[in-house]
Amino acid sequence: MKKISLIAASLIVSVSLNAATVATLNGKNISDTEINEAFAPVLRGQDFKNLPEQQKKALINEYIAQQLFLEDAKKQNLEKDSLYKEELEKVKDAVLLKVYQEKLFSTIKIDSSKVKAYYEQNKNEFVKPARAKARHILVESEKEAKDIISQLSNLKGKALEDKFAEIARERSIDPGSATQGGELGWFDQSNMVKPFTDAAFSLKNGEMTKIPVKTNFGYHIILKENSQAKEQVKFDEVKKGIENRLKLEELQKLMAEKGRTLFQNSKVEYK
C-alpha cells in the first residue's frame, strides 16, 4: 500500500455501531469512539478498545482534561479574544482544503469485489495478535519481589487473585495499575517491554511468575489471568476499513489529476 498524506488520512472516519461509554463528565457520556477520533494521530490505527487498561485510563483522563480546559476557555469568553480570532483565520484554509477533499472522497465508489479481493490477497494484514490479560505488582528491589512471591506461592485460583490484588494496592509502585489491584487488562507482545511479555506469555492462565521479572521500571510479579491465541480477523469486521483505504488510493489519483488540470489552466510565473 502507498503511504497517504496526513490530510487524506484524516478522512478515514472511525465509525462504531456499538460505541461504548467509557466515562461521564458532569453527566455527559464519553464514548470510546470519541476517544478514538480525538487521539487518532497518537493511536496510529490502533483501536482504543484493544489498549491495556492503563493506557485507556491515561487517554480518558487526557480527553477529560481537554474538555475541562475548553469549558473553562468558553466561560472566560476567549472565543471573542482577538488572539483566538487571529489563530482561527490561520486555519480556515486548511479546514477548507479538508472539506474539499472530503467532498471528493464522498464521490468515490469502490466495487465490493475489489474490497474482497484485497482482503484475500492481504490476509496477513488482518490478524489479531496473541494477547494476554494479566495483573502485576511492581516493586523497587528484587528482595521485596521475592518476599511477595513467597507470600503468594501457596495460593491458587480466587484466593491467589484476591491476595495478589490486595498486595498490589498496598505495595505496587505502578500508580496506574495499583489502584486497580495490579490489573493491566489485555495486551499483546508489542504493548509491553520484552522481558515482561516474555514472562507473561510463558505462563499458563491462572499462573504467577516464580521469580521476579526485571525491567527498567523495577521488579515485577505477574499473574496471568487469561489469554487469546492469534486469530484471523473476519472480512466483515474489516471490509469498511479496506473500502476506505482503497478510496483513499483513488482520492490520491483524483487529486493528482485535478492538480494537473488546475495547474495547466492557471498562469504560473516563477521568479
Set out the domains of the chain in order of their start, with CATH numbers: 6-122+237-264 (1.10.8.1040), 127-228 (3.10.50.40)
* Cell numbers at 260, concatenated: 494537473
At residue 102, the pLDDT reads 93
Detail the DSSP E strand segments found in 142-198. 183-188
Q: Minimal CA–CA distance to 240: which of 126, 121, 100, 104? A: 126
At residue 19, the pLDDT reads 75
For 210-260, write each residue's pLDDT tens digit.
999 999 999 999 999 999 999 999 999 999 999 999 999 999 999 999 999
Q: Minimal CA–CA distance to 54: which of 196, 227, 219, 184? A: 184
Q: Is pLDDT of 61 > 60?
A: yes
Q: How far apart are CA 161 and CA 167, in angstroms?
A: 10
In terms of DSSP H, where are the helices of 76-123?
82-107, 112-121
The model's confidence at residue 67, banded by pLDDT at 50, 70 and 90, is very high
Please write down the HEC assignment for all residues of 37-77.
HHCHHHHCCCCHHHCCHHHHHHHHHHHHHHHHHHHHHHHCC
Q: Minimal CA–CA distance to 101: which of 248, 245, 244? A: 248
Question: Lowest-confidence range among 17-26, 32-41, 95-104, 261-270?
Answer: 17-26
Q: How many CA atoms lie within 13 A of 6 on its CB side?
A: 4
The model's confidence at residue 18, banded by pLDDT at 50, 70 and 90, is low
Please give the share of the chain, as a percent, with pLDDT higher than 90.
80
Q: How far apart are CA 132 and CA 229, in angstroms?
A: 9
Question: Lowest-confidence range among 26-30, 49-53, 139-143?
Answer: 49-53
Q: Minimal CA–CA distance to 209: which of 170, 157, 152? A: 152
Length of the chain: 271
At residue 10, the pLDDT reads 41
In the structure, how many helices (H) and strands (E) does the chain have? 11, 8
Q: Is pLDDT of 1 > 70?
A: no
Whether 49 and 20 have beta carbons less than 8 Å apart is answered as: yes
Helix, strand, coil percent content, the chain, rounded in steps of 5: 55, 15, 30
Q: How far apart are CA 101 and CA 221, in angstroms?
A: 51
Q: Minimal CA–CA distance to 238: which of 45, 8, 32? A: 45
Q: How far apart are CA 228 and CA 107, in angstroms?
A: 40
- Strand-strand pairing, 127-128 and 28-31: unpaired
At residue 42, the pLDDT reads 82
Q: Is pLDDT of 37 > 60?
A: yes
Q: How far apart are CA 129 and CA 231, in angstroms?
A: 7
Q: Which residue carries 497518537 as its cell?
A: 42
